[in-house]
Structure 1
Amino acid sequence: MPHALRDAQPASGRASLYAEITTRIIAELEAGRLPWVQPWGGADTASLGLPRNASSGRPYSGINVLILWGAVFAGGFSGQTWLTYRQAQALGGTVRRGERGTTIVYAARFVPDRERLRAREEGETAQPIPFLKRFTVFNTDQCDGLPENIAPMPPPIPAGLILPRAEALIRASGVEVRIGGDRAFYHLQHDCVQVPAPQSFFEPVNWHRTALHELGHSTGHPSRLGRDLSGAFGSRKYAFEELVAEIASAFLCAALGIVPTVRHADYIGTWLEVLREDDRAIVRAASQASRAADYLLACLPEGTMPGREEEGGGDRGDG
């Protein structure tokens, strides 16, 4: 991925950061690239996995995954571990002179004093508003003097174990998965996933990528995360939910060590419409995709997969 998601420069106003991120995602989509899958397209990329903080070991989530995957690809870094400047110093290391950091974001909510006053006067509940805060991290490849094996990424899962783990996740989810037919979809009323037989795919690994995409949709069921799944085919709601499921599938594949081929960008046009209409849509979609992936990964036996937290703690927010 080019520098589209790297080295964001300061901009004025809280809303500008949403616009900045959205503009860069749009540029990638207009070029026919999917920011959530391209980092795994070459032989020289870093090991598969979710980016994590090298000091705390906590994986990043939401839009930060896309930003950091892009930075790994653009910078040719060998790993997915990151530190702030102060964290590198605290570990006895240093960021090399001249290295440029990557700007990521912390999402939270706050209630302005004016809104608090209005709610008190009208006897209503004060409504918080979302905001993004910037901070800068450096890949551990950009640092010197760090202790060895600082929060190392887990080794790739051997090829023979990838599919069983994905199948175990599907079973643990409790969602009925029906195999057969020539279409892949999630049926909300029946709460089941339909996926063609594995032998229908040119590469068997893509059966799992497809199943995880549809399983991502299933997390929107009212008994789970309760997303709005009412969008009719071709609508903005439908396109947004497809975006959530597509990114959730990418997050799940990375967490499970699966490297599927790039999915045909069926929905790029409608995704672009959604992003151009709402510059917070990609942040919301990535946040909801993280929640969907977290929900499904939590179905695995305790200790099988690590939890996710954003740098700095607190509520990640919807953006």
Structure 2
Amino acid sequence: MRSPRPSPGAAEPSQAQAQSETKSQARSGTKPSALGLGRNLYEEVTARIVAQLEAGRFPWVQPWTGSGAPALGLPRNGATGRRYSGINILLLWDAAVENGFATQNWLTYRQAQAAGGQVRRGEQGTIVVFADRFVPEKEKERAAREGGEPGAVAFLKRFTVFNLSQCEGLPAPDEIASPPVEREAIPVAEALIAATLADFRIGGERAFYDPSKDFIRVPPQTAFGDQINYYRTCFHELAHWTGHPTRLGRNQSGAYGSKDYGREELVAEMGSAFVCASLGIVPTVRHADYLGAWLETLREDNRAIFKAASAASKAADLLLAFGEAGARSDDAAGAR
């Protein structure tokens, strides 16, 4: 929490390719994904997220397969290796949980074929989305008459992907290592926290980020019932930290209990989940501290979950970049 007083991840195809994917899915005998083709996409996704929250399920808590099994991590494109981002993380995690998939590698129908495999007949694909823009003809004509730049209209494209578990003839991927044992420090998490150079203060009984003074305070790790949740909390507060005007510049002016405050909490909660997934950390489920505020926000604005997931991905990417920069520095030092 904050002190009460203070691009898509996978290589997206063109529209023609997306249409081709739909035809390929039909040839494979699959049905359209649970996201239907005839409804407003923002409404569809928001309705699904709201239903999960009402059922007490948090769609941004990464799935895992049980004791001793590897953490699935962030979903990624199995052909390019690029991670999906934003709302697509939630859509693909949801599909993994619903279907019991043991991998977070996803492919289009054509990518599976190009890799020497095949989507099994009858498998149902999962729809993911990405933002695009186009300039209407009338807007081009207006700009030509009046001068200036034509205005573009934002819209969402969708295309279908299949989990590697739905394919045959493809090798099993190397997955992220097993979740760390509880009550032990996690070196990769400790290194990332240190690499941010954030003003990070340990002590007290509350965890919060103070945006006016730009510092984070968290209780000591031994104060946590499940010590692995110390890292979830650290990355939650670091996600708030990324919103400072000198970093990503999010609106953090909302008073405690306000809608703006709730929106920022949603960004931080998902941002923490994305970082934990990337590092292979599996915290326990967060209590629904702000569940009512989240549901109210999502019901009022069917684009809110898209905006929050996008902001959370940017926050997670910024934090993870500190770790990558530190690793490069260590490699360079070792080479000298």
The bucket for the TM-score relative to the shorter chain is 0.7 to 0.9
Q: What per-residue deviation string (whole Å, max 9, x for no partner) do you get for residues 220-258 of structure 1?
A: 111111111111111111111111000000000001111
Work out whether 1:287 is the aligned partner of 2:330. no
Work out whether 1:68 is the aligned partner of 2:121. no
Work out whether 1:20 is the aligned partner of 2:47. no
Q: What per-residue deviation string (whole Å, max 9, x for no partner) do you get for residues 108-137 of structure 1?
A: 333434445556666665544332111111
For 2:74, the equivalent position in structure 1 comes to: 50
Q: What per-residue deviation string (whole Å, max 9, x for no partner) do you get for residues 170-221 of structure 1?
A: 1111211111111111111111111111111101111111010010011111
**2-side partners of 1:44 and 1:62: how far apart?**
28
Task: Name which of 280, 285, 290 aligns with 1:262.
Answer: 285
Local SS of the residue matching 2:110:
helix
Root mean square deviation, CA, Å: 2.4
Report which of the two structures shows the higher radius of gyration computed on alpha carbons: 2
For 1:317, the equivalent position in structure 2 comes to: none
Local SS of the residue matching 2:83:
coil
Relative to the length of structure 2, the TM-score reads 0.81
**2-side partners of 1:258 and 1:275: how far apart?**
27
For 1:309, the equivalent position in structure 2 comes to: none
Task: Name which of 228, 234, 245 aligns with 1:222.
Answer: 245
Following superposition, the deviation at residue 66 of structure 1 comes to 0.8
Mapped contact 1:107–1:132 kept (Cα < 8 A): yes
Counterpart of 2:126 in structure 1: which amino acid?
Answer: T
For 2:36, the equivalent position in structure 1 comes to: 9
Local SS of the residue matching 2:186:
helix
Residues 92/301 of structure 1: CA separation in 2 closer, same or farther (3 Å cut): closer
Where in structure 2 are there 5+ consecutive unaligned residues?
A: 1-32, 329-336
Residues 238/256 of structure 1: CA separation in 2 closer, same or farther (3 Å cut): same
Mapped contact 1:47–1:79 kept (Cα < 8 A): no
Relative to the length of structure 1, the TM-score reads 0.85
Counterpart of 1:88 in structure 2: which amino acid?
Answer: A
Work out whether 1:296 is the aligned partner of 2:319. yes
Structure 1 residues 94-173: aligned runs within 5 Å? 94-118=118-142, 126-146=150-170, 148-149=171-172, 152-156=174-178, 159=181, 163-173=186-196
Task: Name which of 213, 221, 229 aligns with 1:206.
Answer: 229
**2-side partners of 1:183 and 1:41: how far apart?**
32
Where in structure 1 are there 5+ consecutive unaligned residues?
A: 1-5, 306-319
Residues 218/110 of structure 1: CA separation in 2 closer, same or farther (3 Å cut): farther
**2-side partners of 1:117 and 1:44: how far apart?**
62
Percentage of matched positions with identical amino acids? 57
Q: Which moved more, 1:17-26 or 1:120-129?
A: 120-129
Following superposition, the deviation at residue 9 of structure 1 comes to 1.7
**1-side partners of 2:258 and 2:143: how far apart?**
34
**2-side partners of 1:70 and 1:162: how far apart?**
29
**1-side partners of 2:158 and 2:327: how far apart?**
32
**2-side partners of 1:117 and 1:181: how far apart?**
62
Counterpart of 2:44 in structure 1: which amino acid?
Answer: E
**2-side partners of 1:287 and 1:100: how far apart?**
26
Q: What per-residue deviation string (whole Å, max 9, x for no partner) do you get for residues 62-103 of structure 1?
A: 111111111111111111111110111111111111111111
**2-side partners of 1:192 and 1:120: how far apart?**
51
